[in-house]
Amino acid sequence: MSIALRLTLWYAVSTFAVVLVATAALYWSLVKAMYNEDVSDLADNLDYARLLIRSSPESQSALAFRLQSRSAPRSAIYLRLLDSDANPLTESPGMKEELAPPTKEELATLGSIQSNPHRSFSRSGEPLLSLLARVDGEKSPGPPRYLQIAMERGHDEQFLVRYRAHVWFVLGLALVVCAFVGHLIARTGMRPIENIGRAAARIRATTLHERIETRGLPAELSELASAFNDMLDRLDQSFRHISQFSDDVAHELRTPINNLRGEIEVGLSKSRSAEEYRAVLESCQEECGRLSHLVRTLLFLARSDTAGDGLQRQKINVGEELRKIETYYEAAAAEAGIDLEVAAPGSVHADLDRTLFQQAVGNLVANAMTYTPAGGHVRLAAKTCQSGITVSVSDTGCGIAPEHLPRVFERFYRADPARGNSAQNVGLGLAVVKSIAQRHGGHVEIDSKVGRGTEVRLILPVSA
């Protein structure tokens, strides 16, 4: 069942229920008001008849005529005067055939109190409303006399029958109108959703720039459309990154492959000595090493994007790990004339993946040594901070221009393309560092000034 049909049914049923309850309440109020009016009219006639009997010297046979002329033309009034033995003294014409007199026992229990209204049907089937009361007080001389007064309510019943017929017609029409209006409201309410659906259906990989119009939408759907547009922004950005990444991979692979092909073609172009062939093979080996490093790095980044946590965490002494990294790069630093030092207390501990932590810091150290001239300094430091630990690698190298800083952690991005011919420098080192930090639940920060050096900080949580 569609949402529009459900909304139509809910609106039609709920609105019709309200109309039905309101109509029933009005009908009940009308019936009650008509009944109370008849009771009041009957009581007034009863009081008038008692007053006439007590004070008027007229004959009792004229009493019924005077009451009939006083009553409303829509209702016939019957009057019966009885003695203490329930024998009629006088009564309205035709009353004997329509309404039986009360019994002596009923009169005996009446006393001086007026009876409650009594509903009954005449012998001809007309609905009647009757009252019974004592004419004289209990202390009056002479035998007691009683009045029985009745009113035909056939006109009221006919009116209610016609009223009910009109009510059923109105209710049937109300049900149709409620269903129709509910359908219009449902279709109107669903139209923005249909527009969103049509707009979403038009979006393809080549049309990710299109967005859903949010102006004029209800607040709830506006939030939905905004969230959908935000998702499209992320998808568009991801597609752009994937496209750029594919172009960069093709570019990075093309250079070593062309070098390999060129070296092989040169080696096969003519006969050469063993030393010349050895030089060709060494050059090919260098290019193969560059390809292997590139593939391993790309594979690591691809797995990092899809592997969730997957870390082998253990509690490590960060200062000791930094000293191990210092020892590993000490020879290369000495050969390059770079002073490599560590400043980290032994009290800094964290739950980290040892291998990935060493790889991230090693990448930062290698990158710092690449851009630091002879006589410069590379410093490794660690300390605790509010969000965990901070591991920094700073150098006194050439620095990075401010316009490059926002993009240095992008894959294949190099602030100095002229240095991109190294087998290790493919523009993925800082991207690997960022990926490792994010897998640990941390992040990377960088500060740099041209001519003064660069500092990269790893901010990592102490525990998972």
Q: Any idea where the domains of the chain sit in the sequence?
A: 3-160, 219-303, 311-460
Looking at per-residue confidence, does 194 or 163 come out higher?
Answer: 163
Q: Check: pTM over 0.75? Answer yes or no.
A: no
- pLDDT the model gives residue 415: 67
The string of pLDDT tens digits covering residues 253-294 is: 776 788 788 888 878 888 878 888 888 888 888 878 878 877
The string of pLDDT tens digits covering residues 22-58 is: 999 999 999 999 999 988 888 888 888 888 777 764 5
Mean pLDDT of the 127-142 span: 75
The model's confidence at residue 151, banded by pLDDT at 50, 70 and 90, is: confident
- The answer on pLDDT for 425 being more than 60 is no
- The answer on pLDDT for 377 being more than 90 is yes
> What percentage of the chain exceeds 70 in pLDDT?
87
- pLDDT the model gives residue 25: 94
Of 135-149, 280-294, 364-378, the one with minimum mean pLDDT is 135-149
Of 33-47, 103-117, 119-133, the one with minimum mean pLDDT is 103-117
Mean pLDDT of the 55-68 span: 54
- The answer on pLDDT for 414 being more than 90 is no
Mean pLDDT of the 105-125 span: 78
Check for a shared fold between 3-160 and 311-460: no
- The answer on pLDDT for 188 being more than 70 is yes
CATH for the stretch 219-303: 1.10.287
Specify the 3-state DSSP secondary structure of 217.
coil
**Domain 311-460 of CATH type 3.90.650.10:** no
The string of pLDDT tens digits covering residues 320-367 is: 999 999 999 998 999 999 999 998 887 889 999 888 898 899 889 988
- The answer on pLDDT for 392 being more than 90 is yes
Indicate the fold that domain 3-160 takes in CATH: Beta-Lactamase (3.30.450)
